[in-house]
Structure 1
């Protein structure tokens, strides 16, 4: 019994930044369902999200609600990529920058990536050429294009959606249909596998 206590303690101490980032960009179905259940927004607060896309994304519940909306449209890769880039830009040491850049590239950028975002050839090619020596600005152009796409397209549909209307009117949230496209994968699929970074790099 004493041995298992030490073992658990060691596991907790070994929770690395890489594992945390893995969870960030892959998510967990249980965590998503929990977040959805916890979102409690006052109608006036939700109303402010309609003023600008920036206000929506800068509010924690706004970001989570918009992510939920994109999942109903099967285009959540856009917001997941944007969030991964925001986290990436807060990286400090070179090893962390390299690790996270590679993870983002493999999940969102490379051809046939599990959640490939829609980018023009030039932007994609530039990232591919620089991915071996990434900087904090490696994904700036791609993130900007994805942001613009969401602002001009998805955000406008979000403002007309039932999800947003329910919040504005103060109605209880309806359960979302969170089916996934077959080529996407989630952290959930790896729960029975040891958290070895080499598995997904």
Structure 2
């Protein structure tokens, strides 16, 4: 004899719905059957995807956390940074934001060299100039320096010749070149960056770089659902 469920599609569907309802009802009862270790781990993994934001693949998490620290600077002040590059780096908060932006682009050697030159020109003890100049030259200017900046050949030669008798103006030409490079190249990108835009709108630094994973229907959500099965019948 043929199975009557196959002869009656409506009855077959209703039976399946009722069976599903019984399963869901039993899952909602307290003291249910303990879950296996593998299923518990699977649920934990799925929940972690909902709770943790997914970062852009090229963003290092530790550096990103530094970029997302809240700032006390007001949006009004931040907007003034867009008036000129000098306005930006003349303020400590602006210099700090620009430095963090360059670090996110792995080009922080430019601003570090500029700041080293600023510190060098403020030296009061001229006897320390040779050692300070040597440190800056070896760190930023000489060939294959650890943080070598992008200088043209003539500027490098001129700076190198000044190293025999360094003065407070030894790095002026090189510093001017790097300042122009940052002003014309890095500064416009900074003003278009998520970091600057977030600051203008008073949001935490770099929050636009977050790209959250879309929510999916998880086991827990399915278990807690209480659908009206009557609409299926």
* 2:98 counterpart of 1:63: no
Matches of 1:169 and 1:90, distance apart in 2: 36
**Could you say what secondary structure the match of 2:76 adopts?**
helix
| Structure 1 gap ranges (5+) | 1-29, 178-201
* 2:116 counterpart of 1:84: yes
Q: Deviations over 1:154-178 (max 9, x none)?
A: 0000000000000000011237x9x
**Could you say what secondary structure the match of 1:164 adopts?**
helix
Deviation at 1:74, TM superposition (A): 1.1
Q: Would the alpha carbon gap of residues 71 and 61 (structure 1) be closer, same or farther in structure 2, given more than 3 Å must change? A: same
Matches of 1:158 and 1:68, distance apart in 2: 10
Structure with bigger gyration radius: 2
**Could you say what secondary structure the match of 2:203 adopts?**
coil
The answer to whether the 8 A contact 2:70-2:204 is kept is no
1:45 to 77, 86, 90: 77
Alignment coverage as a number of residue pairs = 146
* 2:173 counterpart of 1:173: no
Q: Find the counterpart in structure 1 of residue 39 from structure 2.
A: none
Q: Deviations over 1:39-65 (max 9, x none)?
A: 321000000000000000000010000
| 1:1-201 equivalence runs, <5 A | 37=69, 39-174=71-206
Greater than 4 Å deviation, 4+ residue runs: 33-36
Task: Using structure 1 for the length normalisation, give the TM-score.
Answer: 0.68
The answer to whether the 8 A contact 2:109-2:140 is kept is yes
The answer to whether the 8 A contact 2:68-2:206 is kept is no
The answer to whether the 8 A contact 1:35-1:64 is kept is no
Matches of 1:145 and 1:62, distance apart in 2: 21
Matches of 1:53 and 1:76, distance apart in 2: 16
The answer to whether the 8 A contact 2:79-2:200 is kept is yes
Matches of 1:52 and 1:120, distance apart in 2: 25
Deviation at 1:95, TM superposition (A): 2.1
Task: Using structure 2 for the length normalisation, give the TM-score.
Answer: 0.59
Computed over aligned residues only, the root mean square deviation of the Cα atoms, in angstroms, reads 2.2
Matches of 2:125 and 2:134, distance apart in 1: 15
